[in-house]
Amino acid sequence: MASVSEMYDVGWEEMRDKLRKWREDNCRNSEQIVDVGEELISEHASKLGDDIWIIYEQVMIAALDCSRDDLALTCLQELRKQFPDSHRVKRLSGMRLEALERKRKISILKAQGKSAEAIRELNEYLEQFVGDQEAWHELSELYINEHDYGKAAFCLEELMMTNPHNHLYCEQYAEVKYTQGGLENLELSRKYFAQALRLNNRNMRALFGLYMSASHIAASPKVSAKVKKDNMKYAAWAATQINKAYKLAGRGNKENKCSMKAVEEMLESMQITMS
């Protein structure tokens, strides 16, 4: 993966200045702080002088926020070595332990089947550690298992906002919308399945999802003739892509042909019910 300096064509001084600006403005862009800070620390530590300590603190807090305990611990250890009796460092240590403790508590609640409590604790945790993606994703799964699709969608929206290039979040959001049902949600789901495909054209779930959502919209009595026609086009396109994908997968493998045939027939039979 490209480094920050490569991607944005910046030198270490600019990275250091950016971190200082974010500190002064009290920004909560933890992911960016982690990306920039981690690179700065690992590659330019010697150039930073005394700035490095405050950068360690800043990056540590951001790392906790993003569930990067490895990085948080590294920063903390450097700070402990340099300031062994510092109250400030002890406070940071406490912060880290608290984050770990809360996450462990949530895991235990989940294992005990206490979903409602796990959800509540996770919500509280996320109020403080807003950038923790793993936690947002866990919360979305808890909501899905409780059939609270609206709240699951909200969690996935947070994830999509901070990770616009992640095709999995797009596709999962689309699945939640589809499950919620209703014409509006189906159209949203189709749009997000399509977006997931744009981000990764080999995502089979997105492809199937596009096919299913477009087919259902086309079959709905509530849509205009134009919408019906458009969706039949989308569905037909998706069906072609699905067949192509199966053909590619089945090449050279006789046993897989049953899958391919079943898919062809399934798509054909659905076409009939649609028209």
Partner 1 sequence: MPIQLTSQAYCKMLLHAAKYPHCAVNGLLVAEKTKEKKKDSHSEPVLCVDCVPLFHGTLALAPMLEVALTLIDTWCKENNYVIAGYYQANERTKDSRPNQVAEKVAARICENFSEAAIVMVDNSRLTISCFEPIVVIYHHHENKWKNREVTLESFEDWSEAQKITSALLEGRSYENLIDFDNHLDDLRNDWTNPVINKSVLDLC
Q: Among residues 87 and 202, whose Cβ is nearest to partner 1?
A: 202
**Residue of 87, 147, 222, 226 interacting with partner 1 (CB under 8 A):** 147
Query: Would you count residue 44 as binding partner 1 (CB under 8 A)?
Result: no
Indicate whether 265 belongs to the interface with partner 1 (CB under 8 A). yes
Please report how close the Cβ of residue 247 comes to partner 1 at its closest, in angstroms. 10
Q: Is 253 in the site for partner 1 (CB under 8 A)?
A: yes
Residues in region 182-211 near partner 1 by CB under 8 A: 189, 204-205, 208-209
| 259 touching partner 1, by CB under 8 A | yes
Q: Alpha-carbon torsion 108, 137, 179, 268, what sign?
A: negative
CB 209 within 8 A of CB 241: no
**Of 28, 178, 214, 229, which lies in the binding site for partner 1, with binding defined by CB under 8 A?**
178
Least CB distance from residue 227 to partner 1, whole Å? 20
Asked if 112 interacts with partner 1 (CB under 8 A), we say yes
Q: Report CA-CA distances (Å) from 205 to 83, 107, 201, 202, 242.
A: 51, 28, 10, 9, 10
Residue 120 beta carbon to partner 1: minimum distance, rounded to whole angstroms: 17
Q: How far is the CB of 8 from partner 1 (least distance, A)?
A: 33
Confirm or reject binding of residue 245 to partner 1 (CB under 8 A).
yes
Q: Say whether residue 108 binds partner 1 (CB under 8 A).
A: no
Among 72, 144, 197, 214, which residue sits at the site for partner 1 (rule: CB under 8 A)?
144
Residue 270: CB minimum distance to partner 1, A = 7
Q: Which of 75, 196 has the CB closer to partner 1?
A: 196
Q: Which DSSP string corresponds to the chain?
A: ---HHHHHT--HHHHHHHHHHHHHTT---HHHHHHHHHHHHHHHGGGSTTHHHHHHHHHHHHHHHTT-HHHHHHHHHHHHHH-TT-HHHHHHHHHHHHHHHHHHHHHHHHHTT-HHHHHHHHHHHHHH-TT-HHHHHHHHHHHHHTT-HHHHHHHHHHHHHH-TT-HHHHHHHHHHHHHH-SHHHHHHHHHHHHHHHHH-TT-HHHHHHHHHHHHHHHH-TTS-HHHHHHHHHHHHHHHHHHHHHHHHHHTT-GGGHHHHHHHHHHHHHHHHHH-
Tokens found for residue 42: 């690992």
Please, which residue, 164 or 181, has the CB nearer to partner 1?
181
With CB under 8 A as the contact rule, the residue among 84, 113, 150, 182 that binds partner 1 is 113
What is the contact surface with partner 1 in residues (CB under 8 A)? 111-113, 141, 144-145, 147, 174-176, 178-179, 181, 189, 204-205, 208-209, 212-213, 245-246, 248-250, 253, 255-256, 258-259, 261-263, 265-266, 269-270
